Structure 1
Amino acid sequence: MKILHISAVKSWGGGENQIELLCEEFKSDFPEVENIILCVKGGLFHKRLKNTNLNFKTAPLSFNFDLRYSLKIREICKNHKIDLIHIHDPKALSLVVLADKFLNLPKMVFSKKTSFPIKNRKQTLYKYNYPKIKRILCVSKKTREIAGKSITDHNRLKTIYHGISIEKQKNTTAEINLREQLGIDKEMILVGNIGNHIPAKDLNTFINTAEKIIQKKQKLKFHFVQIGHFSSETSQLIDKIQSNNLETYISFLGFIENASLLIPQLDFLLLSSKSEGVPNVIYEAFYHKTPVIATNVGGIPEIVTHMENGLLADAFNAEKLAEHLLFLNKNRELISRFAENGYQKVLENFTTKRMAQQTLQEYKNVLYGRY
């Protein structure tokens, strides 16, 4: 079975990480599946793949409908006799549909990794309902529910949760000591957020939550650290920190390679997102037994159960997130219970091995014409 994975994203994030993990899992456990990844030449994913032993190709993508990218899809399918195309983002979907106009491409599956609604535009609905797309693999039940409003054939919709590689988490250690880098002592309560600076992560609410904690003027000492790629949003966020005199309490560190390995150094993981599929960092926090406080958006409530393995608040509700943080810090006997529940849940349900098994089954169903 030969699979072509297509990514048209120039950055590096959770979605690209999952492509890498999926292909690594296939390589080790299902060698009968031959995977080729096509990514944007010179992009961050390309740079990342150079340090792996995965089979990948690149093509330039200077604008949304760069014909060179679509021609590369055609070339790979023809030269490598590809059986199935796995599309990993909306831009890649557009490019594959365009390429199919030049050559009769193989059957396709598409991964829906966010809970954003599909736009109600003729062209957008056309590509998501394209006849050759035989499966839409949704990252959560919520994502599947939202996608179902725009997909004509609901039999195409399947839920496959992402996961983490237990071996990778087990066998790698962080090279950075966060407390040393930040210049804070062991008594400081370290609250972290990991995510790129995109609107969905709502880092304004992360800053607001930190400010609420600081305003309460308790004897407790907190420091908030945010790790992720800077973007056009970053300057506004930093301006907000400075204008509210929060520089002493909040640190933005930018992108750090293998940031998930820093999770054990955090006292709490705080996610303030306003939209999500399911953030992989929650699985990683569960594995490392770091308590999670998050917003109940997208697929997060399918993973985090309030008062069982974490705490949830509504989106934009910095006051409630701050209350949860103080509550959990005060009732520390809950932390070990939450940690053990989360750890068991991730081992049983959210591993790359399980993700690869389920994905392979859907590949077979598509190729053999089964629902």
Structure 2
Amino acid sequence: MRVVQIIDSLDAGGAERMSVNYANSLAEVIEFSGLIATRSEGALKTQIDDNVHFICLNRTKTFDLKELLRLRQFLLEHKVEIVHAHGSSFFVGLLVKIIYFRVKLIWHDHYGDRVKNSMSNNWLIKFASLFFNGVIVCNNELLQWAKSNLYNAKHVYLPNFTVHNPKHEKSLILSGIDGKRIVCLSNLRNPKNHMVLLEGFHKSKLAESGWTLHLVGKDSHDTYSENIKKFIKDKNLQDKVFVYGAQNDVYSVLSQATIGVLASTFEGFPVVLLEYGQSGLAVISSNVGQCPEIILEGKNGLLFQPDDVQQLEESLQKLADDSDLRRFYSSNLKSYVYENFSHEIIIQKAIKFYQSV
């Protein structure tokens, strides 16, 4: 089997991580695994294994015939059978299908809030689905949406997974005290809901007992980002809340933290919760999307409503005050992630789906 993943860029986001995870994991078990970034490289390029064939097209416009023909040549040269397009890269996949019809096109939908959008916002995807040979989704809500709204008859729900590849890690030393670090691994943008996290941390008064909050993710230096930094300054939290920007060494960063938080207002199937679990963190997550499938309230972590600052505040205090509870949750979550979301299990399911199309 010869499969290529397509993604717009390799910036550190959920869909981007999954494209790399699929490419790396497939390279171990199939004849050919490739990865194509259509617009730009990014922080995740260093995470690509040596046995994955990678190119970046540097596409700068919607219809870039030169780069499209370059992509077609790559597929022909490597005798690619299946193109697995992630997220918004479905459009490039559609163009490829038009000029190289014999390739099988699979679209992977990572956008958890799609079910709330009207079809007027998804008309292009619905049209493109005429050319899809299969659709993979990251949660059950998206599966029902795809079955109801897309033309393609083959759909499958595959949970996200994560792969720990230590050879790519480098050192970033987090500020603060060992055992008292809270981390949020999310790009600084909507719908990641950083302001609710900041307010919950501030109101919890945990900073007064030595706890620190660490925001790790792409910083676009826009209004969203500036509001975060203004809050930190206005509340005199400069030595308690730290903003690092995007980092390649995710597991190195997480190994220095004790509590992991996801505060998003919506999610599909967040890879970060799996990364928190693999890293042995005690986790607090917003109760959205497929998060409750990973974080089982009171069993391996805590859930809160993303607009409820008080509930988040109380959850932070609960975990910070009880080291036994943190160990209980972190141990249970680590086992749960390993048993249910290992890359070996998901990749075999993906291969079966590939074969079905």
Is the structural similarity TM-score above 0.5? yes
Query: Paired residue for 1:163?
Result: 161
Could you tell which deviates more after superposition, 318-327 or 258-267?
258-267
Query: Paired residue for 1:175?
Result: 171
* Matched residue type, 2:270: P
Alpha-carbon distance in structure 2 between the residues aligned to 1:126 and 1:144: 14
Query: Paired residue for 2:35?
Result: 37
Question: Which structure 2 residues correspond to residues 1-371 of structure 1 after superposition, within 5 A?
Answer: 1-9=1-9, 11-28=11-28, 30-32=29-31, 34-40=32-38, 42-44=40-42, 47-48=45-46, 52-90=50-88, 92-117=89-114, 119-121=118-120, 123-130=123-130, 132-153=131-152, 155-165=153-163, 168=165, 175-178=171-174, 182=175, 184-186=176-178, 189-214=180-205, 220-231=209-220, 232=222, 233-366=224-357
Alpha-carbon distance in structure 2 between the residues aligned to 1:62 and 1:172: 29
Alpha-carbon distance in structure 1 between the residues aligned to 2:3 and 2:231: 46
Are the counterparts in 1 of residues 259 and 281 from structure 2 also a CA contact under 8 Å? Answer: yes
2:4 alignment partner, SS class: strand
* Matched residue type, 2:110: K
Could you tell which deviates more after superposition, 349-358 or 238-247?
238-247
Give the deviation of 1:152 after TM superposition.
4.3
User: Normalization by structure 2: what TM-score?
Assistant: 0.89
* Matched residue type, 1:77: L
Closer, same or farther in 2 for the Cα pair 1:128/1:336, shift >3 Å? farther
Are the counterparts in 2 of residues 116 and 146 from structure 1 also a CA contact under 8 Å? Answer: no
Alpha-carbon distance in structure 2 between the residues aligned to 1:72 and 1:123: 28
2:108 alignment partner, SS class: strand
Tell me how large the CA RMSD over aligned residues is: 2.5
Give the deviation of 1:62 after TM superposition.
0.9
The gaps in structure 2 that reach 5 residues or longer are: none
Could you tell which deviates more after superposition, 298-307 or 96-105?
96-105
Give the deviation of 1:261 after TM superposition.
2.4
Are the counterparts in 2 of residues 143 and 298 from structure 1 also a CA contact under 8 Å? Answer: no
2:267 alignment partner, SS class: coil
User: Normalization by structure 1: what TM-score?
Assistant: 0.86
Give the deviation of 1:86 after TM superposition.
0.7
2:133 alignment partner, SS class: strand
Alpha-carbon distance in structure 2 between the residues aligned to 1:104 and 1:141: 30
Deviation sequence 1:254-288 (CA, Å, 0-9, x none): 12222232213212111111111222221122122
Identity value in percent: 18
Alpha-carbon distance in structure 2 between the residues aligned to 1:209 and 1:149: 39
Alpha-carbon distance in structure 2 between the residues aligned to 1:337 and 1:12: 30
Closer, same or farther in 2 for the Cα pair 1:174/1:4, shift >3 Å? closer
